[in-house]
Amino acid sequence: MVMTQPRIAVVVPCYNEALSIQLVIDEFKTCLPEAELFVFDNNSSDDTAGIARRAGATVIPVKLRGKGNVVRRMFADVEADVYVMVDGDATYDLRDIRAHIDQLLAQRLDMLVGCRRDDGSNPQTYRPGHRLGNLMLTGSVAWIFGGSFTDMLSGYRVFSRRYVKSFPAMSQGFETETELTVHALELRMPYAEADIIYRARPEGSTSKLSTLRDGWRILGTILKLFISERPLAFFGLLALLLVLLGLGLAIPLLLTYAETGLVPRLPTGVLATGIMMCAGLSLVCGAILHTVTTGRREAKQLVYLGIPFWQGLS
């Protein structure tokens, strides 16, 4: 087997990061000088693109607002063997980036996620509300899809080529991290996590994340993925709830009928019957959609298997 050096691409999604993008590019040039640097500017109103271009990065504009739209363009436009994706806010310490890439290649991983560890310099760096939200959302994904992720919402990831070129990006905003995680779990890709120091933003720089708004959008994405990727479980659970509701209405009527031979509340009986019929229909829908989902998953798996882990292997 002949091996050449992997082509490494750094892809940085940015929106109004003029105060930090220079720091990110300089750190990558120090820690990973052979990598190609791509900054995807998401219609910034400041000089993010100009600063990145003068610092030596290739700048690609993305007009559609939202991190999910940027990720879609990054994965479509850039050709490499290893992809390093990191936010452009200079909050991620990159000193271990080479070790992370070596781990990805040595273990044939498809994704390595940086688990954020607060550097302790600022109590607002990784706020308790964000920690709790991350814990709840990561736990929800683990409960529904399995896996052992502890920081699903991290903006620091290292990908293989076959991951990037098989990822069907559908989300628009910050919920893309959920989609990235579920894609790996659904195709049972090899993945790992590694601790990474999470720093405070440069002075004057502000976060674009809205805790409540983006949290609800991420939760909505989890629910949509639950329905589309686990339809039998979702509609089975719905059928169970409907059965319990129907029985709650029907049992008192049945007891009354057994005692008196009368059905005093006929509309309630009709409603209970309708609910039980809906439960059966829900279960049938889940079974049909499960078959469709299995076919979709097999198609994605075939695409994934058709992409070499590393183009340098021959």
pLDDT higher than threshold 70 for residue 3: no
The closest of 150, 131, 114, 134 to 218, measured between CA atoms, is 134
Hey, CA dihedral for 70, 74, 75, 76, is it positive or negative? Answer: positive
Please give the order of strands across the beta sheet that includes 36-41.
58-61, 36-41, 8-14, 82-85, 157-160, 111-118, 191-198
Rounded Cα distance, 19 and 21, in Å = 6
pLDDT digits (tens, 9 = 90+) for 103-125: 999 999 999 999 988 766 655 55
Report CA dihedral (103, 299, 173, 161) to the nearest 10 degrees.
30
Residue showing tokens 């019929």: 277
Q: At what angle do helices 128-145 and 176-186 cross, to 10 degrees?
A: 30
Rounded Cα distance, 26 and 113, in Å = 22
The closest of 155, 171, 152, 167 to 69, measured between CA atoms, is 171
Q: Which of 51-60, 156-165, 204-213 has the lowest mean pLDDT?
A: 204-213
pLDDT band, very low/low/confident/very high, at 2 (cuts 50, 70, 90): very low
Q: What is the pLDDT of residue 129?
A: 60
Residues 128-147 have a mean pLDDT of: 77
Contacts of 247 (CB under 8 A, 6+ apart): 272
Q: What is the pTM of this model?
A: 0.83
Distance of CA 157 to the CA centre of its chain: 11
pLDDT higher than threshold 70 for residue 209: no
One-letter amino acid at 118 equals D
Count of residues making up the chain = 314
Assign 81 to helix, strand or coil. Answer: coil
Q: Could you give phi then psi for residue 3, rounded to 5 degrees?
A: -125, 135
Residues 248-262 have a mean pLDDT of: 79
pLDDT higher than threshold 70 for residue 301: yes
pLDDT band, very low/low/confident/very high, at 178 (cuts 50, 70, 90): confident
DSSP class of 30: H
pLDDT digits (tens, 9 = 90+) for 79-111: 999 999 999 888 899 999 999 999 999 999 999
The CA-atom distances, in angstroms, between 106 and each of 163, 190, 199 are: 16, 12, 28
List the structure tokens of 64: 């559609």
Say which residue, 145 or 121, is predicted with more confidence. Answer: 145
Give alpha helix (H) positions in the chain: 21-31, 48-54, 67-77, 97-106, 128-145, 161-164, 176-186, 211-229, 231-260, 266-305
What percent of the chain has pLDDT above 90? 48
pLDDT higher than threshold 80 for residue 198: yes
Rounded Cα distance, 135 and 123, in Å = 18
